[in-house]
Chains A and B, each alone.
Chain A
Amino acid sequence: MAVMNNKQQTNQSHYSKRNVWSGFLFGVGIAAFIDEVVFHLILQWHHFYDKSTLHIGLLSDGIFHAFGWFATIGGSFLLADVNRRHAFAPVKWWGGVLIGLGGFQLYDGTVHHKVMQLHQIRYVDNLIIYDLVWNILAIIMLLIGLFLVFKTRSRLQPVGSVTDEQP
């Protein structure tokens, strides 16, 4: 059992990056999924197309939409991969998820909604409140995610250990 735990820890440090990547991709994917299903389809706050959208906005939206699906599925397979290598590090993974969620939501809330005018969060008068809640939430998730990844970094990667070893 002790051997197993040891092994698990070595694997976790070998695949620590893969844990973060898996979480990050999964987080981006979930954010894109929630955006599409909850805000577009169920609540119908977001519009499918807004006449004020810049061309670059349509391009960015298309790429992020396609990437979102890839991220959800690819992130899940990466998770299955670290798990079968007995290298799943939950804190690191959740850190990655929060970075992905927060990062995508912040990009969506600032660049997509504001700069590229893709669509607004909701078509109402006091939009600023929605914008503030949306983006502050995003920043909080991003900061907690960064904190978790940074915190586990020193614990799982002793100084001088080789971490980039190929599988």
Chain B
Amino acid sequence: MNSHSNMHSTVHSLSGGMPQFFLGLFFILALVFYILAVVLSNKRYQPWPVKRTILWLFGILFAAASLLGPIAERAHTNFTAHMVGHLLLGMLAPLLMALASPMALLLRTLPVAKARNLTRLLKSWPSRMYTNPVIASLLNIGGLWLLYTTPLYSLMHESMWIYVLIHLHIFVAGYLFTVSMIYIDPVSHRTPFLYRAIVLTIALAGHGILSKYIYAHPPVGVPQYQAELGSMIMYYGGDVIDCAIIFMLCLQWYRSTRPRATVSANSTAN
């Protein structure tokens, strides 16, 4: 009880300001730059699909909802609210934003010489490393294991910088994970479908196992009933978003194995 009320008071002093400001700024800038890029590049090329701008907007809104407003306020003291925020920031927002194809937009907005530099950057070894399915999964799921099974979770509520870093990590790792599995943006180093399918399954299993582990072993300072509800939100909420990623991955396989020869053979036979 003591640690709980303690956490509450520390957090109250934080909740007004700085961490939310930094994280909020990050996403507000992301929205402003995206719209600016759409407007600028539309002058030279075909209109950028409105659908993508809407996906980006909703991605930003869900990320913002996890950092500002009622969910974020409650997340400081309530593990269940924290878990809802985690689903929005680490899974739903990255998926929507990846589907908005920001890299392709950036490439067509930049002048050719700079776009070439960006392409070179995307092909460089660090970029390859961070978008490798195994590394991205380790960053994403491994990071969550660290957060919820070590004292890191309670430290996060005491230090503003740890709070900011962890929330940025949750988002960035979620984004890298998504783009390592489904190819929406230009990717220079594609990995085979089956490889991604296997890594994705193992990563999702790691997410599910962690959910059940939290159910039985709540992080320090989290009451049992909140851990149980939060764990089930993580488990089933994660499933819903995982299904969307699996669907996209399978759809990409389905399109890439389209039987071109058979179709032409049939059309001549008919």
Task: For B254, list chain A residues within 8 Å (CB).
Answer: 77, 80-81
Interface of B is mostly: helix
Name the residue on B nearest A65 (C-beta). B208
Q: Mark A133-166, 1 if CB is under 8 A from B, else 0.
A: 0000000000000000000000000000000000
A43 at the interface (CB under 8 A from B): no
B259 within 8 A of A: yes
- Specify the chain A residue showing the minimal Cβ separation from B232: A48
Q: A39 interface residue, CB < 8 Å from B?
A: no
CA distance A96 to B58 in the complex (A): 41
Report whether B247 and A62 are in contact in the complex, using a CB–CB cutoff of 8 Å: no
Minimum CB distance partner of B259 in chain A: A85
Counting CB contacts under 8 A, is A66 at the interface? yes
**A62-B209, A70-B246, A77-B254 known; A49-B204 Cβ under 8 A:** no
How many chain A residues sit at the interface, stated as a range, is 20 to 34
Residue of A nearest to B248 (CB): A73
Is A58 in contact with B209, judged by CB distance below 8 angstroms? yes
Q: Are B205 and A65 in contact (CB under 8 A)?
A: yes
User: Is B32 in the interface zone, CB < 8 Å from A?
Assistant: no
* C-alpha spacing A63/B257, complex, angstroms: 27
Encode contact with B along A81-95: 1 for CB under 8 Å, 0 otherwise: 100111000000000
Q: Say yes or no: B251 contacts A48, CB within 8 Å.
A: no
Residue of B nearest to A64 (CB): B205
Complex contacts, B202 vs chain A, CB 8 Å: 63, 66
Q: Which 5 A-B pairs have the closest CB atoms?
A: A62-B209, A66-B204, A62-B205, A66-B205, A77-B250
B residues adjacent to A (C-beta < 8 A):
197, 200-209, 212-213, 215-216, 231-232, 235, 239, 242-243, 246-247, 250-251, 253-254, 257, 259, 262, 266, 269
A: residues with CB less than 8 A from B are 3-4, 7, 48-49, 51, 58-59, 61-63, 65-67, 69-70, 73-74, 76-77, 80-81, 84-86, 167
